[in-house]
Amino acid sequence: MNISLPDALKAFVDQQVNTRGYGTSSEYVRELIRKDQDIQRLREMLLEGASSAATAPVDPGYFQGLRDRVTQRTGS
């Protein structure tokens, strides 16, 4: 895949590669795509959660119960 960029965007990408420690412009673009995928997944999960049925309120006891379950499973 080849991508054509205007000079200003190419300069920006080159600057990011040089200042942020990327080996190539491809590494930089791949990271941007992965971050965008993560944002889209998070958005989907938030929308799914918002459209799901309401449950019991979450309080400190709920989180303590989760911690206890994890501790039992790991034997810690």
Binned at pLDDT 50, 70 and 90, residue 74 comes out as confident
Sign of torsion over alpha carbons 66, 70, 72, 75: negative
Joined together, the tokens standing for residue 39 give 């944002």
Classify residue 14 as exposed, middle or buried by CB count within 10 Å of its CB (0-12, 13-18, 19+).
Answer: middle
Amino acid 76: pLDDT: 65
Whether the predicted model's global pTM rises above the 0.75 cut: no
Report the mean per-residue pLDDT for the chain: 94
The radius of gyration computed from the CA coordinates of the chain, to the nearest angstrom, equals 22
